[in-house]
Amino acid sequence: MTPIPRPGPDQAVYVISVAAELAGMHPQTLRIYERRGLVDPARTSGGNRRYSEDDIALLLRIARLTDEGLNLEGVRRVLELEAEVARLQAELDRTRTEGDRAVADVHRQYRRDLVPVNQSVTIYRGRRSR
């Protein structure tokens, strides 16, 4: 028996009623969130909304923030800032990786320039006098 393939986290498969039930919300709440720009579900060719696992996670995040007392504008701003932090973290990770790679390249270059101690030339200048 072949297992049924599960949709990816960004694959929009849930209709609004199922998404609302999974998020513990009323479908009208999802429509309000969409009008306010908090969520952007995919649309079928017929114009029906389709939500993904990522959309459901976002709806749950919005619910937590509103439960903590934020209004929808505050939630929008928090989500905006979280996205900016994630973008900056990814940029920092890329920069660190590039920096580590550049340092490693320089270290490899240094190693080519080194001469082992047993093969180095030492100039003898005689004994030191006091």
The total of structural domains in the chain comes to 1
What is the span of the domain harbouring residue 23? 16-115
The answer to whether position 125 is within a domain reads no
Strand partners, 42: 50
pLDDT tens profile 22-81: 999 999 999 999 999 999 999 999 999 999 999 999 999 999 999 999 999 999 999 999
Q: How many residues does the chain have?
A: 130
Cα–Cα distance for residue pair 71/77, rounded to 1 Å: 10
Q: Is the pTM of this model over 0.85?
A: no
The answer to whether position 4 is within a domain reads no
Cα–Cα distance for residue pair 84/77, rounded to 1 Å: 10
CATH code for the domain in which residue 88 is found: 1.10.1660.10
